[in-house]
Chains A and B, each alone.
Chain A
Amino acid sequence: MLRLLVTLLLALAALPAAIAEERTLRVVSPWEITSLEPSRAGYVFTRMEVAETLTGADDGGLATPALAASWTVSDDGLVWRFRLREGARFHDGTAVTAEAVVAALERARAAPGVLGNAPIASFAALPGTVEIRLTRPFVALAAFLAHFSTQVLAPSAYDAEGRVRAVIGSGPYRVVTVEPPQRLEVARAETWEGPPPAIGRASLLAAGRGETRAALAESGQADLVYTLDPASLERLKRNPRITVIARPIPRTITLKLNAADPRLADPRARAALSAAIDRQGIARAILRAPEMAATQLFPPTLAEWHVPGLAPLAHAPEHAEALLAELGWRKGPDGILVREGRAFRLTLRTFPDRPELPVIAAALQDQWRRIGVALEVSIGNASEIPAGHRDGTLEVGLLARNFSLVPDPIGTMLQDFSPGGGDWGAMGWSSEAMARALAALSATTDAAERARLRGEIAAILQAELPILPIAWYQHTLAASKRLAGVTLDPLELSYRIAAMRWAE
């Protein structure tokens, strides 16, 4: 009897430890789990540290080892060899082989995404090493391999037809249950060869409504809540149980202009439209973060790409009016500018997926009206912008461009500013100097030369304004104070749960 009692007491004493062991860290994000396919919602599984890519990136965007422990580049820059981390195993217990990695890379290259844009000639699986041959030197390859679409899954993750039936990765966490589109539960993977993460279980809930996410953070029902609207952010900052982290990320709200339109073809016309924008006002009133007003394409935190000496984009409506008068525009009776019988009327397309965009569009409408440019705002689906780019009907598009699709912004820059422009970048604009600088930048590893080329690119963009930067973006996180070791990945590659622990 006594023994039973003692056992019972011991069990009771051990109970709190067992509960702490099983505590689940609850993550809330707006992005739904639309698919298990890496090229679609693959970011869900890389952020939750279930699946790994060959490389990762530090906060500044420099490639770091992940599934690849190290890599070498041949002297001509055409052959890259990635040595796989020794002892790496998939969650089904099998070893991560070079063949599995090559299979994943082939899939990623065939799917729409970033890898198809890299000059890859072939992949080869050597023992413990993956070899990638290029058609021309391409320095950003290591960054491209950090993209979620290249995540490496076990051969058993695919069914007979090659579709993903379960996400079996090699990360510190394994999938316990996945209920698309809203829930994912993960637990510490026994197959992980590194130090076991302190947090044993984690769940992800996709909540599309900003109000819902804020309420979950505020009531303590979630431990990590990503992407908060400006109003909620202010309120959460005053909550003693929550730490709010906001970091600028390489995503910029830009206006895409059709430079092939005769009204927008002259760089002075684009400069005038830019000078008419009160970026400070937009950042203060709409984004509630005055420091987010863009003075150039990239924010100062992106030290590699921000050029401190560049003359900032400033609000100067009188200058704008003078520039337009120089181009032959005269105000008509309704206050709208007219030239050769044609009024300065533009249609702006934008979309509501990022809730601030339609509000910014309304502000632009008012600000441009003051210099005599009438702007009609058309709010539709995001895909209207690339569609209008292709058929040439787009005049102005307002969007939030992600320059870290791959951690090195060069990936996006190549898409957006190469001759002919890009679906989300320049339109009807091309610059030989820009093309030369971009090509040189993707080929050279010399740090000083790279810095000079980035400066040159920034200067061209600032002078010619093929797109108008409006504001920089903040990535936001409300983290419970019950958690310690919380950091926010500005490149959104990972939630970094494996590095966190419970505070008490």
Chain B
Amino acid sequence: MRRVAAAAARRGGQAVLVAVTVGALSFLLVHLLPGDIALRIAAGRYGYDLVSVQAAEAVRAELGLDRPVLVQFAEWLWRLGRLELGVSLVTGERVAAEIARQLGATLTLSFAALALSIPIGPALGVLMGLRPGGVLDRAGLAVASALRAVPSFVLGVALIILVSVELGALPAAGHGEVENIVLPAVTLALGLAAVSSRVAREAMAEVRAAPFFAFAETKGLTRRAVLWRHGLRNAAVPIVAFLGVQLVSLVEGVVVVESLFAWPGIGHALVHAVIARDVPMVQGTALVLGLIFVLLNAAVDLACLALDPRAGRR
């Protein structure tokens, strides 16, 4: 129990550090980007048909963008201290409310993708690892390499054309109904499974080559029993750690996939916020993503601790 508390405290400290660093970095980066920030915000608000220097000046005055950058940053920190994320410069809505809505959509999509990828990736990987160099292993390598090499955008368009346009089986885009999630989730899951199958295969192959595995077989246990009692748990530690990393890297794929499937998630919102120089939105989104990374790492730590108690004792 003490070990769990220590791990939690360590991650808690990290969370505060992440919050301040991410906030400062995103603030700095947005201000370093080329172009006049007031003009960009005005373009985001009114669309480029209506954007003019006059509109930009109105935005600058309204938001106090001509004040020193340090003053603006101190203001953000002060608000953050009171757990306020501020108001979006483009939509005028509270950042917290916008993120809550978009994060829900992104997490739903991410977990659906991860859930779909597990039976495809790690499960197949374990089977491949049991017979390294076998037909399944070699075919798996080819398919995984191909899937990993194809950008998720191309994979998504291919799935839309095949499943939605040709077969008419699933909606090509949108959200609000259950079937809307299938195509974006499959697009992401295939990319995830491509890598996680290889990690699982390596982990399983290593366990299979270990002396304890050979001993379990020698002492006469059935293959199934060997796999269940000695194989899976030992192979699971690197796989679980890797799945944690994958959830994090999902964000990268989510940005493109969300735009393609018109999914109202946080990746899509982040891209738009950066283009429109919506500083509070960028900061808030990056902050929430950063904290999720910390949270996921903590969860992975705890899961690995549960799978392999030796790690904590050392």
Q: Measured between C-beta atoms, what is the minimum distance from A118 to chain B in Å?
A: 14
Q: Which of B35-43, B78-86, B193-201 sits within the interface?
A: B35-43
Among the listed A212, A380, A423, which residue makes an inter-chain contact with B173, where contact means beta carbons less than 8 Å apart? A212
Distance to closest chain B CB from A385 (angstroms): 8
Q: How far is the CA of A180 from the CA of B50 in the complex (A)?
A: 21
Contact in complex: B35, A112 (CB < 8 Å)? no
Interface residues on A, range: 35 or more
Residue B266 CB within 8 A of the other chain: no
On whether the beta carbons of B165 and A215 are closer than 8 Å, the reply is yes
Main secondary structure of the interface of A (DSSP, over half): loop
Q: How far is the CA of A34 from the CA of B44 in the complex (A)?
A: 8
Q: Is B54's beta carbon under 8 Å from chain A?
A: yes
Contact of A383 among B35, B54, B168 (CB under 8 A): B35
Asked whether any CB of chain B lies closer than 8 Å to the CB of A35, the reply is yes
Binds B, one of A201-209, A324-332, A432-440, A441-449: A201-209
Is B260 on the interface with A (CB-CB < 8 A)?
yes
Whether a CB of chain B sits under 8 angstroms from the CB of A414 is: no
B150 → chain A, closest Cβ, in Å?
A: 15
| A37 to B47 alpha-carbon distance, docked (Å) | 13
Among B45, B92, B262, which residue has the most Cβ atoms of chain A within 10 A? B262
Q: Are A387 and B91 in contact (CB under 8 A)?
A: no
Q: Which segment, of B68-76, B116-124, B156-164, faces chain A?
A: B156-164
A86-107 near B? 1/0 per residue, CB < 8 Å: 0000000000000000000000
- The residue in chain B whose Cβ has the minimal distance to the Cβ of A221 is B171
Does any Cβ of A come within 8 Å of B275's Cβ? yes
B174 within 8 A of A: yes
A219 at the interface (CB under 8 A from B): yes
Whose C-beta in chain A lies nearest to the C-beta of B49? A402
Q: Is the CB of A387 within 8 A of B55?
A: no
Which residues of B have CB within 8 Å of A424? 52
* Distance between A350 CB and nearest chain B CB, rounded to angstroms: 12
A221 to B180, CA, bound (A): 11
- The answer for the CA separation of A163 and B88 in the assembled complex, in Å, is 14
Residue contact B35 to A384, C-beta cutoff 8 Å: yes
A contact residues around B91 at 8 Å (CB):
34-35, 40, 180-181
Residues of B contacting A182 in the complex (Cβ-Cβ under 8 angstroms): 175, 262, 264
Interface residues of A (CB under 8 A from B): 31-32, 34-35, 37, 39-41, 112-114, 116, 163, 179-183, 205-209, 211-212, 215-216, 218-221, 351, 353, 380-384, 386-387, 389-390, 402, 405, 422-424
Q: Given A40-B45, A112-B58, A220-B168 in contact, is the A380-B35 Cβ separation under 8 Å? A: yes
Q: Given A215-B160, A215-B164, check contact A209 B46 (CB 8 Å).
A: no
Question: What B residues does A353 contact at CB under 8 A?
Answer: 48
Q: Are A221 and B260 in contact (CB under 8 A)?
A: no
Q: How far is the CB of B106 from chain A (nearest CB, A)?
A: 13
Q: Do the beta carbons of A215 and B172 come within 8 Å of each other?
A: yes
- Would A35 and B53 count as touching, CB distance under 8 A? no
- Pairwise interchain contact B52-A386, C-beta atoms closer than 8 A: yes
Query: Nearest chain-B residue to A353 (Cβ)?
Result: B48
For B50, give the chain A residue with the smallest CB separation. A113
Is B176 at the interface (CB under 8 A from chain A)? yes
Residue in A31, A112, A179 with the greatest tally of chain B CB atoms within 10 Å: A112
Known: A208-B262, A212-B173. 8 other contacts (CB 8 A): A182-B262, A183-B174, A207-B173, A212-B261, A215-B173, A221-B164, A383-B56, A389-B53
Closest to B275 in A: A381
Instruction: Offer 8 A-B interface pairs, CB within 8 angstroms, sorted by A.
Output: A34-B90, A34-B91, A112-B51, A180-B91, A208-B259, A208-B262, A351-B48, A382-B43
Tell which of B54, B173, B260 touches A205, judged by Cβ atoms closer than 8 Å: B173
A211 touches B260 (CB 8 A): yes
What residues of chain A lie closer than 8 Å to B164, measured between beta carbons? 215, 219, 221
